[in-house]
Amino acid sequence: MALLWQKQTRDTCYEVRTAGRSRRLYTNGVFHSQYHPDRAHSGGVWDLLVIPAFFRPPGRIRRVLLLGVGGGSAIHLLRQFVGPVEIVGVELSKTHLYVARKFFGIKKHMATLHHADAVTWLRDYDGPPFDFIIDDLFGSSDSIERAVPADKAWCKTLLRNLNKNGTLVMNFIGGKALRKSACVAESDVARHFKAAFQLSLPAYENVIGVFLGSPGSGKVLRKNMRDIPEFSQKRLDFRLRTLTKSFRPTHVNRAARQVEIKHER
């Protein structure tokens, strides 16, 4: 990979590197985002952040909130495959926003971007709720910890700003972290969801928690994705796991079962 751009602050090194025509954002060596000018999908974690949109019929997701913009890979995916009316992004790093605009093709008409702390911004937000919220809040270090713990206080803040039938998507490192999150382990939070799933890719440690405000199933997901070849099993070998139907913390491990999505070709 060739180094295209670099910036060093007191404690953070930002790099944009090229791999063929792709551009990749690294912060302190952590791979944050990837962008290719001819295709939005990359076969990586960013694809998993958007796949949960297909639990809903086309056109139902109109307002999207992205917490943790990075280079903006998810914005390209949302615009191409989901087509919401509005995308709002909140990013703590001003440099990440610069990279998104300068190197990753994010234009003003694509999304409304805010340079702010996601926790403070969402707690102060008093606008209409969102149909789809992506929480991709990780720091710039090589720590495996989320930047914002998925505890009861934070998950309730997310819920307050999510439509009753909306979808919440959260990024974790490992299934254990997902199962310990308040959206699974705290009954007074988990009871708000009609279904919950875990998405993962064999080559990544990341596990995506999907929490639905309306009923959903792997069958529905397959049906809605049938005509999207970019997310076929051949291109994206993802795994879908149903977490639990009862949302009782003591049953999480026993109820979890593996469901492999096999797309029609």
- Which pLDDT band, with edges at 50, 70 and 90, does 233 fall under? low
Give the pLDDT confidence of 192-206 residue by residue, as tens digits.
Answer: 999 999 999 999 999
- Which pLDDT band, with edges at 50, 70 and 90, does 1 fall under? confident
Q: What local confidence, expressed as pLDDT, does residue 144 receive? A: 60
Report the distance separating Cα 136 and Cα 48, nearest Å: 11
Is the confidence at residue 71, as pLDDT, over 50?
yes
Confidence (pTM): 0.91
- Which pLDDT band, with edges at 50, 70 and 90, does 66 fall under? very high
Select from 3.40.30.10, 3.40.190.80, 3.40.50.150, 3.30.70.100 the CATH code of 41-259. Answer: 3.40.50.150
Percent of the chain with pLDDT over 70: 89
Is the confidence at residue 158, as pLDDT, over 90?
yes
| Contacts by 102-109, CB closer than 8 A, 24 or more apart | 102/5, 103/4, 103/5, 103/16, 103/23, 103/25, 103/35, 103/71, 104/23, 104/25, 104/33, 104/35, 104/71, 104/72, 104/73, 104/76, 105/35, 105/37, 105/72, 105/76, 106/71, 106/72, 106/75, 106/76
Give the pLDDT confidence of 133-152 residue by residue, as tens digits.
Answer: 999 998 765 556 799 999 99
- Which pLDDT band, with edges at 50, 70 and 90, does 244 fall under? confident
Q: What local confidence, expressed as pLDDT, does residue 253 receive? A: 39
